[in-house]
């Protein structure tokens, strides 16, 4: 953790487009940005379009959730290998030379921390990463009744920007179709055949359809697209034409 300056709308937009996550704690410090960001990016089946969070009490989290505000639950689990425990299979010296090009054996981690997050949105449902499901799933029914006060940090959005979720399929011939949900888009993608183009004696080129899942976020400086599956899913958010979000 480190000390940080006060969050602002401008910083929230910047961090959102950079795809990083930040969280202020009651102590005045901030959660480790790399670990927090990595945990948030591994939330299953959903990308959380909120970049800045602030810690609140368990009671405040319950009231906020009842009023329709998303709540983020954060926890850490420390692990350590027991002495004498059998480890996972690792390549021998000759196999390491084939795989890595050298025979140096990387030391195996004997301890570490897993960062667990669970995003609860009254309108969209609950989404979590694997460490949360492994170490905190048995406590989910006690989240707001005082049973896990010492184990979980409760966070609410510091700044939120309106957004819409989109699922599109670009067919092999370039036609773009938008679908109401993920299931329908996958079905449309699976029904889109590849396109073979012949170039005489030069051979053939095969064009394949593309599945794209993204959010369009209304920020103070404009409308931006954040792709989570598609040709630009590894890039920062980019600006698109000004459109009305519904």
pLDDT in tens, 213-237: 999 999 999 999 999 988 888 899 9
Tell me the CB-side half-sphere exposure of residue 186, using CA atoms within 13 A: 4
Threshold 0.85, pTM exceeds: no
For the cut 80, the answer to whether the pLDDT of residue 85 exceeds it is: no
Among 113, 124, 158, smallest CA distance to 15 is for 158
Evaluate whether 140 touches 39 at the Cβ level (below 8 Å). Answer: no
Among 146, 120, 152, smallest CA distance to 59 is for 146
Q: What is the pLDDT of residues 26-71, one digit of tens each?
A: 999 999 999 999 999 999 888 898 999 999 998 899 899 999 999 9
């Amino acid at each position: 953790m480190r000390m940080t300056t006060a969050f602002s709308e401008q910083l929230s937009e910047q961090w959102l487009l950079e795809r990083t996550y930040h969280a202020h704690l009651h102590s005045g410090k901030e959660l480790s940005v790399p670990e927090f960001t990595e945990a948030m990016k591994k939330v299953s089946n959903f990308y959380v379009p909120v970049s800045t969070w602030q810690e609140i009490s368990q009671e405040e989290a319950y009231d906020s959730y009842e009023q329709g505000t998303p709540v983020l639950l954060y926890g850490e689990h420390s692990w350590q290998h027991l002495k004498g425990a059998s480890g996972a299979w690792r390549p021998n010296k000759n196999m390491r030379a084939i795989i890595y090009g050298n025979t140096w054996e990387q030391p195996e981690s004997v301890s570490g921390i897993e960062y667990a997050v669970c995003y609860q949105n009254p309108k969209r449902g609950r989404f979590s990463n694997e460490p949360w499901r492994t170490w905190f799933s048995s406590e989910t029914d006690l989240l707001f009744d005082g049973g896990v006060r010492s184990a979980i940090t409760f966070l609410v959005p510091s700044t939120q920007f309106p957004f819409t979720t989109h699922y599109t399929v670009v067919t092999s011939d370039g036609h773009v179709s938008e679908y109401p949900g993920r299931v329908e888009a996958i079905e449309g993608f699976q029904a889109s055949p590849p396109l073979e183009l012949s170039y005489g004696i030069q051979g053939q080129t095969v064009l394949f359809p593309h599945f794209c899942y993204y959010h369009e976020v209304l920020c103070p400086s404009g409308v931006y697209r954040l792709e989570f599956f598609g040709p630009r899913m590894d890039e920062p958010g980019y600006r698109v034409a000004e459109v009305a979000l519904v």
